[in-house]
Structure 1
Amino acid sequence: MSHIGYFAWDRAAQRADAPCLRDDRLDLTYRQFAERVDAFAAQLSGHGVGRGDVVAIMLPNRAELLVALMASWRIGAAATPVNPTFTATEAEYQIADAAAVLVVNEGPDAPTGGRPTIAVDDMAASPDPDWAPGPTAGAGDLALLIYTSGSTGRPKGVMLSHENLQFMSSSMVQHFSLTADDHCLLILPLFHVNAICVSFLAPMLAGGQLSVTGRFSPARFFDDVARLRPTYFSAVPTIYALLVSQDADTDLSSLRFAVCGAAPISKELLDRAEQRFGLVIVEGYGLTEGTCASACNPPGGVRKLGTVGPALPGQTIAIVDESGAPAPMGTVGEVVIRGANVMRGYLGRPDETERTVVDGWLHTGDVGRLDEDGYLTLVDRIKDMIIRGGENIYPKEIENALATHDDVLEAAVIGAPHDVYGEVPVAYVVAYPDSPVTDDQLDDHLRDRLTKAKLPVAIHIVDALPRNPVGKIDKPGLRSRHRPAAVN
């Protein structure tokens, strides 16, 4: 069994009084973090949670979320982080699908899925002297269930083991040359695997530190950098667009590099952000199913703007044609990935797992090409996924929600270009004959069913949806309505 290097109880023995984790309320050394983990692990045990169970954690970014995560691992359980902005319907689906035995949340008004709960303010902070930890999680054990939507519109639980997480976090340490001197400023949500791996587990493994910021704003970001002096952060293109639009005159010299992922960034924005901040920004690419990242430009090596870099250590990226055969170098095809980062599968969905992981190769559904140096350029997406400010939004989920309205005959949702968010969802709806539904009524209908980020920015009521020769809805035709007009 391979060694897992990021466990708090092991790191405390080596780093003890070194700074580890802070947010607006707490500032913890490695020893104090481990004590908090043990305190909550004992509390979870007292609630009957044990090896092989799943704990749902529905909290905004704060230190206690990471305490709850690590405490679950302390007793051999797994965790499923739940988006704290989810509606009750969305949250309860995930809690039930994951078969969570307990929910950690913000209090009595938060969704529970009918499970026992521990409110964040009731989390034990002092270790129980009578509690002795039993077997902790091992390399092959399930560590995380991260939920990601699929083409069916029903979110799927991606099963990631500690082996997956150890491989990814150690790869991040190697690729970014992280040491105990590094300090990450966390601004991405912790219900994503990116934030867990890049911003939490990697610095834990390196013996560095993590500062968890509150709700993101450009002013808050610049203040935090000036006050905390972090050495790196990871963000999405939307955040870089917001930052470069500010006139702030902040000393950013502590930052060694920054990471951009979750959505493609334009060469122009990347270059503008680097020039504006005098900072190396490396673009990367990955999927939840691949435990976060599979390719990334190197901070200290050759960076090719417009690419997402070469494969990370220990991974192989290839391009295949429609038949699944390897495509010649420079040819466009589907991006497939192989390595110890590939997920164990989708929870309870063996057929979808088999379609996605074939002979050890993760089929991404993304289209790209590799150059002679192995640098990957993403060309398009096979799937219809919309990436709004780094958030993955699947049109089918919105279409399904629209279809629950009695007056909706059919709906199509596409991504429209947006200056700040990259893409935003736009809906086209056909109503039943003699059903005079309005866009405002449909908007109200969706608000109880979808997170705010998934709500269409516009709902167009139309007589009919365009179709291609085989009768399928012509989504490319709908998207073309939103492209900027050509300038002669």
Structure 2
Amino acid sequence: MHFASLPSERAGARPDGPCLSDETVGTLTNQAFAARVEAASRVFATHGVARGTVVAVRLPNRVDLVVTLFAAWRLGAAVTPVNPALAHGEAGYQVADSGARVLVTHDGLSLEGATTLAPEDLTAPRAGVDVSLAEPDLDDLALLVYTSGTTGRPKGVELTHANLDAMTATMVEALSLDEDDHSLLILPLFHVNGIVVSVLSPLRAGGRATIAGRFDPRTFFATLEAARPTYFSGVPAIYTMLANLPAEVEPDTSSLRFVACGAAPMPGALISRVEERFGVLLIEGYGLSEGTCASTSNPLDGVRKPGTVGVALPGQTVAVMAPDGTLVPRGERGEVVIQGPTVMRGYHNRPEETAQALKDGWLHTGDVGILDEDGYLRIVDRMKDMIIRGGENIYPQEIEHAIHAHPAVLEAAVVGRPHPVMGEEPVAFVALREGATLDEDELVAFLTQRIAKFKLPTSVTFVDEVPKNPVGKFDKPRLRATIASAGASAMSPGEETS
């Protein structure tokens, strides 16, 4: 389906049915949502938004952001969601790189080349403006989602309506979504997971979505109990915070059919802790923006294997590839590669990087993985995060999972540190659960029983919280920068950084 027509279709089928909710507008019916989309499209049209143009939207999680998506699509335009936390220069780069004609923002930010509109402007009357539905074309660009930029300047991932159609159809099938489903959105709407899993998929299925504000573990369950959703999607950091809440927090989770986790592999011990404490079924999946969100998932009904991210979703092929481009047998590790209708069109204005990512008909993920005999995928680590110590390959995620098995540990991240003889060595950053105590010697002794000696971290830094990037993944570039800074400051004046 083409999402441009969804608001009017829902309004025609069930005008008074609930559609979207947030704390600013309450609950919008299908008819009210369709009216807002049409009004916003009239406003956009007066500012030159049409097929082939781009609208940038820089808003916190709220209904107006979803209205912007559908209003732009109604005119045949694409949308680039901008992280509200970006600095002026960072936001300016994305708006300029995307070629956005209009910027919808809540704080009056003005950027060269784009007309700034406030959310309130989207409801202004625009009589006489032609907002007839653009001729639907599934090959049109729908979303321009920018990567986090950990390997350089952020890149715009081009996702078409065909990508969204395939991904949401898969989500509806895999999660058995229907008109009774109600998602609670807690992930940021500038990321494809929040848009696809928590908004577009339930709306396509005839269900509804409640858009929560910024995630706060102290207030989350009150929000959940008031909204009574059937599911929500989170990242490991969110589940870590929920699992660490005081024992007296005993929420009513009876409305939930399941909860989902993505963005980064989740330790099996944490999955068990969340399921046992809150009485929920946790479905872990795997994907990336370049694949329109998800490519594998543990099944809702069937065998779930904690420690894996499940099997390939319908319509997609997931394989493991050797450096020479051949596919490796089950049980052997290599780069995870993906084929299917959810694979991006390419990186915006980056032909060389597009060719590298989509080489030989496969999306190259940069993740190291292993497929077991049943086709369940285990993510070993990011290729660029691998540590080579004295010729031995070390995958930080394996060490992180071993550390996480200690009952005192809340979260842990491992990165490589340069070593003059061994090349690199693993170092760990660890945050403890509230009230827990643990020292480096105790942790290393614990790990000695679980991982090989050459994998043991050579130093452990205890921190209040392991830093994370905007989508909830451990911010390893920041940790590496911390190590580099500490190393530089420890040098004598005559030493060189090489």
The answer, yes or no, to whether TM exceeds 0.5 is yes
The answer for the alignment partner of 1:320 in structure 2 is 321
The answer for the alignment partner of 2:28 in structure 1 is 28
Question: 1:202 Cα deviation (Å)?
Answer: 0.3
Question: 1:115 Cα deviation (Å)?
Answer: 1.7
Asked whether 1:104 is paired with 2:98, we answer: no
How many residue pairs were aligned? 414
The answer for the alignment partner of 1:93 in structure 2 is 93
Q: Deviations over 1:356-384 (max 9, x none)?
A: 11232101110011011110001121124
- Look up the equivalent residue of 1:314 and give its one-letter code: G
Counterparts in 2 of 1:76 and 1:3: CA distance versus 1, 3 Å: closer
Counterparts in 2 of 1:41 and 1:280: CA distance versus 1, 3 Å: same
- Look up the equivalent residue of 1:92 and give its one-letter code: G
The answer for the alignment partner of 2:64 in structure 1 is 64
The answer for the alignment partner of 1:244 in structure 2 is 243
Counterparts in 2 of 1:465 and 1:31: CA distance versus 1, 3 Å: farther
Tell me how far apart the structure 1 counterparts of residues 157 and 201 of structure 2 sit (CA, whole Å).
20
Tell me how far apart the structure 2 counterparts of residues 215 and 420 of structure 1 sit (CA, whole Å).
24
| TM-score normalised by length of structure 1 | 0.79
Asked whether 1:266 is paired with 2:278, we answer: no
Tell me how far apart the structure 2 counterparts of residues 415 and 329 of structure 1 sit (CA, whole Å).
31
Q: Stretches of 4+ moved more than 3 A in 1?
A: 2-6, 125-132, 149-152, 384-388, 414-421, 452-459, 463-466
Counterparts in 2 of 1:319 and 1:130: CA distance versus 1, 3 Å: closer
Decide whether the 8 Å contact of 2:295 with 2:313 is kept in 1.
yes
Highest relative contact order (Cα 8 Å, sep 6+), 1 or 2? 1
Decide whether the 8 Å contact of 1:294 with 1:311 is kept in 2.
yes
Decide whether the 8 Å contact of 1:241 with 1:420 is kept in 2.
no
The answer for the alignment partner of 2:190 in structure 1 is 191
Tell me how far apart the structure 2 counterparts of residues 179 and 465 of structure 1 sit (CA, whole Å).
59
Q: Deviations over 1:288-339 (max 9, x none)?
A: 0000000010122110000000000000001111101010111111100000
Q: Deviations over 1:138-164 (max 9, x none)?
A: 211000000014564111000000000
Name the SS for the 2:123 alignment partner. coil
The answer for the alignment partner of 1:307 in structure 2 is 308
Tell me how far apart the structure 2 counterparts of residues 314 and 463 of structure 1 sit (CA, whole Å).
50
Tell me how far apart the structure 1 counterparts of residues 148 and 314 of structure 2 sit (CA, whole Å).
28
The answer for the alignment partner of 2:39 in structure 1 is 39
- Look up the equivalent residue of 1:462 and give its one-letter code: G
Tell me how far apart the structure 1 counterparts of residues 64 and 324 of structure 2 sit (CA, whole Å).
47
Tell me how far apart the structure 1 counterparts of residues 4 and 41 of structure 2 sit (CA, whole Å).
19
- Look up the equivalent residue of 2:183 and give its one-letter code: C
Decide whether the 8 Å contact of 2:187 with 2:234 is kept in 1.
yes
Tell me how far apart the structure 2 counterparts of residues 52 and 220 of structure 1 sit (CA, whole Å).
42
Asked whether 1:207 is paired with 2:206, we answer: yes
Tell me how far apart the structure 1 counterparts of residues 113 and 172 of structure 2 sit (CA, whole Å).
40
- Look up the equivalent residue of 2:333 and give its one-letter code: V
The answer for the alignment partner of 1:155 in structure 2 is 154
Counterparts in 2 of 1:119 and 1:463: CA distance versus 1, 3 Å: closer
Decide whether the 8 Å contact of 2:4 with 2:136 is kept in 1.
no
Counterparts in 2 of 1:282 and 1:134: CA distance versus 1, 3 Å: closer
Decide whether the 8 Å contact of 1:35 with 1:126 is kept in 2.
no
Decide whether the 8 Å contact of 1:59 with 1:84 is kept in 2.
yes
Name the SS for the 1:70 alignment partner. helix
Greater mean deviation of Cα atoms: 136-145 or 330-339: 136-145
| TM-score normalised by length of structure 2 | 0.78
The answer for the alignment partner of 1:369 in structure 2 is 370
Asked whether 1:138 is paired with 2:163, we answer: no
Counterparts in 2 of 1:65 and 1:187: CA distance versus 1, 3 Å: same
Decide whether the 8 Å contact of 1:5 with 1:166 is kept in 2.
no
479, 482, 487: which is aligned to 1:462?
A: 487
Name the SS for the 2:9 alignment partner. helix
Taking only the aligned residue pairs, the percentage that are identical comes to 50
Tell me how far apart the structure 2 counterparts of residues 358 and 269 of structure 1 sit (CA, whole Å).
36
Decide whether the 8 Å contact of 1:151 with 1:383 is kept in 2.
no
CA RMSD of superposed structures (Å): 2.8
Tell me how far apart the structure 2 counterparts of residues 43 and 384 of structure 1 sit (CA, whole Å).
46
Counterparts in 2 of 1:331 and 1:60: CA distance versus 1, 3 Å: same
After superposition, residues 346-357 of structure 1 pair within 5 angstroms as 346-357=347-358
Question: 1:463 Cα deviation (Å)?
Answer: 4.4
Question: 1:275 Cα deviation (Å)?
Answer: 0.3
Tell me how far apart the structure 1 counterparts of residues 125 and 259 of structure 2 sit (CA, whole Å).
36
- Look up the equivalent residue of 2:100 and give its one-letter code: A
- Look up the equivalent residue of 1:242 and give its one-letter code: M
Decide whether the 8 Å contact of 2:42 with 2:129 is kept in 1.
no
Decide whether the 8 Å contact of 1:282 with 1:298 is kept in 2.
yes
The answer for the alignment partner of 1:480 in structure 2 is none
Q: Deviations over 1:219-258 (max 9, x none)?
A: 3210111111000000001110111112322211001100
Decide whether the 8 Å contact of 2:46 with 2:129 is kept in 1.
no
Tell me how far apart the structure 1 counterparts of residues 53 and 111 of structure 2 sit (CA, whole Å).
16
